[in-house]
Amino acid sequence: MTEEAEQDWRTPAERQSDIAQAKALREQASKGGLRFEVFLPSGLAEWVLDLVAEGVFTDPSEAVFVILGEHRELEPHADLREEILRRTLQARMDDPHPGFTLEEVEDHFDKLSREPRPEPAVWRRWKDR
């Protein structure tokens, strides 16, 4: 079993359903593209919205489109992906901010599990507003 499969929270039936749906949609998507909804956690959502606000992208969907394209282009270059990962991990280790104790992490997640999550923001295209 791969590490990704071990971390997958879906049941085997849910995974099989997703695989079947991907196979069923592939031909149609190859002709007309694929439209889907995406949820971004807070930090990533803020980053994408900042890029839109700065004019880097016209909207979040363009950001996802461009970033996925860049990821696809990097896919065959394992050496570059490994170097990016190495530099990212090194930057985290070199970060001067203090780490968190186990108790602080547990307290944080306990608090998160007790409090209701705020509703996520929803981007609407200008003509749909």
Residues 90/68/61/43 CA torsion (nearest 10 deg): -20
| Tens-digit pLDDT profile for residues 4-56 | 545 568 899 999 999 999 999 999 999 999 998 899 999 999 999 999 999 99
Is the four-CA dihedral 46, 47, 51, 52 of positive or negative sign?
negative
Alpha carbon distance 11, 5 (integer Å): 10
Residue ranges of domains in the chain: 59-94
Using 50, 70 and 90 to split pLDDT, how confident is the model at 101? confident
Q: Considering all CA atoms of the chain, what is the largest pairwise distance in Å, rounded to the nearest integer?
A: 52
